Chain A
Amino acid sequence: MFGDFIAVNAINFEVKKGEIFGFLGANGAGKTTAIKMLIGISHPTSGNATIAGFDIYKNTEDIKKNIGYMSQKFALYDDLTVRENITFFGGIYGLSRKRIKEKSTTLIKELGLEDVSKNLVGSLPLGWKQKIAFSVALLHDPKIVFLDEPTGGVDPITRRQFWEMIYKAAHQGTTIFVTTHYMDEAEYCDRVSIMVNGKIEALNTPKKLKSQFNVESMNDVFLNLARG
């Protein structure tokens, strides 16, 4: 609660291990407030939550070690090279030098970036940056990774390569928490919740939500809910 304004009002949900969960809402619906509470940088006025088994009041440091985060707006340093970015974030996450070196080499190879590993990240196309950013968010093998509008504006082919990476991480047991207001991203999630004015108004698989509202796309589901 901020002053008299209730940003997030008594929300309840559970996300399974290895699930791709979409957290949707219009601008100002309360998404950011909810996420700040989930990652332990803001406290709820009331209620409780655990992230990867850790309590959001007591174990905030454990939470930070066990989550990854990637946003469309900020993810990597443009004036560091690909390898420097990996080393930097590896250091932040407390990985040993040896581990960072191993991880950098595998990551650069897997993404096919051998030729550009010494190039500044700022000089790379957006789609590449997003793929590197996602890999960096997974460097410390987090149990949950939070993705904020991860593929907005990216070309359709790269975007699909990106979703393949997300599916792969989920398949290997990482829980994926996607916040977005791009409804085509919502279509890829196992389940989605839709927040309207601080409350979760819908929570189900995209398929079931579409049939519930008798529409063809998540965009139409959203329009139905947000307009009341």
Chain B
Amino acid sequence: MGLKVNNISKSFKKVNALEQVTFHIKPGELFGLIGPDGAGKTTLFRILTTLLIADKGSATVAGYDVLKDYKSIRNNVGYMPGKFSLYQDLTIEENLTFFATIFGTTIEENYNLIEDIYVQIEPFKNRRAGKLSGGMKQKLALCCALIHKPKVLFLDEPTTGVDPVSRKEFWDMLKRLQTKGITMLVSTPYMDEAALCDRIALIQEGKILEIDTPKSIVKHYPKPIYNVTANNTYKVITSLNMYPFNHSVYPFGEHVHYTDKRDSFNIKELHNYLEQNGLKNITIQKTKATIEDTFMELAR
């Protein structure tokens, strides 16, 4: 059960969309695929849901082979694509009935699985899907992906374009689904959502950079990081970029994250340098690496 991906490669014309991707997901695990647009996340989802055939490698989903057992996979997985793909002209209830019917089941049969999500949109069940807000569309899409009680659920950027309140609610729903034994693969470009997964794979340009738990993945960051601030952020960035000992300089919200090439980095020395560049109210403090720092260091 769970999911196994072994050395999957796929290219389109000149572009290598996926290069030797390997990872295993345990049954019941909530696994995150974290990477920007164009990293290859959707291509991988399409291969695992049997909508696309890989050039090389093999994969099994819930124990079924993506090539030989594609029909069994289709009956045992739920797929929520990144782009809203329900019938806009059908109502909430009609969409859900439609998906239940094509999988040979009924809403009543698996209602317990979708109940706590569906009750939130049920008051609008006669409204057409095309007339729903982003948050409601997302809840309906999740219900439709769950109505046949899949063993594995694929969620491709489910929270893109959704505001923080709906995002939080969505992740709470995924956590509750996990208690019902469903294995989940979820992709997202948001590094803050990575922290909510059991394990994550960082992916860029078709390659897996690292796989680990969100807590442990930051331990792969090799250097101490310093938060630098002063009275003018733009001048902090340009000054640090010209500092001959910099290893990396990245704006990070109200701070700038700085790492040094040398093993023996001297805060005072950098402080003086910034002062000479006309900066005031300088602070330099050691900080912890985030998942995003780790991603950038690995992607360099």
Chain A positions within 8 Å of B, measured between CB atoms, are 25-28, 125-127, 152-158, 160, 163-164, 167-168, 170-171, 181-184, 187-188, 205-207, 217-219, 222-223, 226-227
Question: Which residues of the other chain, A, contact B295 by a CB distance below 8 angstroms?
Answer: 156
Can you spell out 6 A-B residue pairs with CB atoms less than 8 angstroms apart?
A: A156-B191, A156-B299, A167-B233, A171-B232, A207-B254, A218-B253
* B interface residue count range (under 10 / 10 to 19 / 20 to 34 / 35 or more): 35 or more
Given contacts A156-B292, A164-B251, A207-B254, contact A183 B232 (CB under 8 A): no
- B250 interface residue (CB < 8 Å to A): yes
Is there contact, CB below 8 Å, between B163 and A26?
yes
Contacts of B254 in A (CB 8 A): 187-188, 205-207
Complex Cα gap A223–B36 (Å)? 24
Top 4 nearest A-B pairs (CB, nearest first) are: A187-B253, A155-B36, A167-B234, A26-B163
Over the window 262-300 of chain B, the binary record of Cβ atoms lying under 8 Å from chain A Cβ atoms (1 yes, 0 no) is: 000000000000000000000000000000100110011
**Binary flags per residue of B150-180, CB closer than 8 Å to A gives 1, else 0:** 0000000000111111101000000000000
Q: From B188, which residue of chain A is reached at the shortest CB distance?
A: A153
Find the B residue at minimum CB distance from A73: B161
Q: Which residue of A lies closest to B251 (CB)?
A: A163
The CA-CA distance from A171 to B235 in the complex, in Å, is 9
> B residues touching A (Cβ–Cβ < 8 Å)?
35-39, 133-135, 160-166, 168, 189-192, 204, 232-235, 237, 250-254, 292, 295-296, 299-300
Residue in B39, B163, B251 whose CB lies within 8 Å of A181: B163
Q: Contacts A28-B133, A153-B37, A156-B36; is A226 near B204 (CB within 8 Å)?
A: no
Closest to B299 in A: A157
Q: Which residues of A contact B161 (CB under 8 A)?
A: 152
Nearest CB in chain B: distance from A72 CB, A:
9
Given contacts A163-B251, A206-B253, list 8 more A-B pairs with CB under 8 A: A153-B160, A153-B189, A156-B292, A160-B250, A170-B234, A184-B192, A188-B254, A207-B254
List the A side residues contacting B168 at CB < 8 Å.
223
Query: CB within 8 A of B164: which of A152, A170, A205, A219?
Result: A219
Complex alpha-carbon distance, A219 and B299, angstroms: 26
CA A26 to CA B191, docked complex, whole Å: 20
